[in-house]
Homo-oligomer: A and B are copies of this chain.
């Protein structure tokens, strides 16, 4: 069976990360992605390091398998091509500053009147409404303003950013969801919708427990380092050769942990219940580390896994990419060059689907305007 979005055409005006991350997923699910870039330089990330043979590995990781055409949306000839593409497109994506599409004559109202089945997906820093709709934002700005930094880091030290660009990525994922929901809707109504996702909104949407705590107690939570704020032991521990995680989420797992580590703590009133363990979490960490420092993390992970206790190493990204479970799940794929040789590595598709091939390689990241000829031939019905 074909991929679930086979046959759908996405016209993608987005650049950098949030928007291209959305079209990456739509492409992995089978849609045809036509990346419309600005003539001359194209997507800014074409210039982002690191480079392999002069090509950005960053750009390749997010744009593999897409086709590229460079269009000047202020020039008549290119506008005519763009409008022919709109006639064939199911979805249009853009992440300009709000107002830009209107000035180009391609705002939602006029597009919807002319192409009633077209779905229009927009992602921006603060959204298309509200007092700050037109302000610029970057990932770091919405991570800070959106609250996630206030709960990330060590208590008593300055907050840190999340190392992955979740300000962009989570917004891109909500854009994907909105576009897919609009496609489900269109299958019944025949009509497209506009989807408007703000990076700031998306940060708030992932704060779940922090919103519950703040609204129930009036007191916003702070950062707790590598420890879960309300479960213990549920944090990192030092072994002789590095850190690993023990996540003993309930009394049964804690008792198993005590047996496995030969620690006579399960009957101690300071550790008999989860609330008691949370209260004495610092002491508990030292008592556990007094044992775990005596052997390697591999030793302890094997022992704890055998006992059914959730555990695992803290892996750097090179280790993750070689993790046997990650490899078995086809989560690191090859990005090919135009000669079919492996040029880069990229993340695989985490949406595994029955009767859909889970491809181990992806087509090349496009050259700027590199697919102009074939796109024009396709428009001509060739």
Contact = CB atoms under 8 A, between A and B. Distances in A.
Nearest to A183: B184
A204 interface: yes
A51 B213 CA distance: 9
Interface in A295-350: 305, 308, 310-321, 323-326, 328-329, 331-332, 344-350
A329 B183 contact: no
Dominant secondary structure at the A interface: mixed
Contacts of A164: 148, 151-152, 206-208, 210
A224 B130 contact: no
Contacts of A349: 205
A60 B216 CA distance: 11
Given A208-B62, A212-B60, A226-B158, A317 B221 contact: yes
Contact of A214 (B149, B160, B234, B321): B321
A181 B244 CA distance: 36
Interface residues of A, number: 153
Given A204-B331, A320-B147, A212 B180 contact: no
B347 A207 contact: yes
**How many subunits of this chain does the assembly comprise?**
2
Given A141-B312, A182-B4, A308-B136, A346 B210 contact: no
Contact of A247 (B129, B141, B159, B314): B141
A165 B224 CA distance: 13
Nearest to A49: B230
Contacts of A62: 208
A67 interface: no
B354 A193 contact: yes
Contact of A226 (B160, B214, B216): B160
A176 B181 CA distance: 10
Nearest to A6: B185
A81 interface: no
A209 interface: yes
Interface stretch (A167-175, A258-266, A372-380): A167-175
B313 A145 contact: yes
A272 interface: no
Interface in A188-209: 188-189, 193-198, 200-209
A126 interface: yes
Contact of A236 (B58, B158, B308, B317): B158
A247 B137 CA distance: 8
A160 B206 contact: no
A135 interface: yes
Nearest to A125: B310
A356 interface: yes
Interface in A48-76: 48-52, 56-58, 60-62
A33 to B, nearest CB: 14
A353 interface: yes
A271 interface: no
A150 to B, nearest CB: 4
A366 interface: no
B129 A328 contact: yes
The 8 closest A-B pairs by CB, nearest first: A151-B163, A130-B328, A180-B180, A4-B185, A187-B187, A215-B345, A57-B216, A178-B351
